[in-house]
């Protein structure tokens, strides 16, 4: 499984901005769901398929969050970087 992974500490007062250079799947997950994702088990996430230049996601609660960017079902490579925007 090929994917980009970022870990951030944030909460509902933060917008997580994920900047991408091509269409990609972007998923925001807590620790448990990230573990399930890596194990290819059923998991929950915030996000979906996004077009460039960015996606904006907001965590439901304060804590450590995992951001996964992948091209599952798409060909090529993707480049991404993450910004945290405090409200």
> pTM score, two decimals?
0.94
- What is the sign, positive or negative, of the torsion defined by CA atoms of 74, 58, 46, 16? positive
Q: Locate all alpha helices (DSSP H) within 1-87, ordered by sequence.
A: 31-38
- pLDDT for residue 73: 81
Tens of pLDDT, residue by residue over 53-86, are: 999 999 999 999 999 999 988 889 999 999 999 9
Asked if pLDDT for residue 5 goes beyond 80, the answer is: yes
- pLDDT for residue 1: 61
Closest CA to 82 of 42, 43, 47, 39: 47
């Amino acid at each position: 499984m090929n994917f980009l992974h970022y870990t951030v500490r944030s909460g509902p007062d933060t917008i997580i901005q994920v900047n991408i250079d091509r269409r990609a799947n972007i998923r925001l997950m807590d620790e448990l769901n990230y573990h399930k994702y890596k194990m290819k088990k059923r998991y929950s996430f915030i996000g979906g398929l996004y077009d460039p230049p960015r996606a904006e996601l907001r965590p439901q609660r304060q804590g450590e969050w995992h951001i996964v960017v992948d091209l599952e079902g798409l060909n090529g490579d993707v480049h991404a970087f993450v910004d945290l925007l405090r409200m």
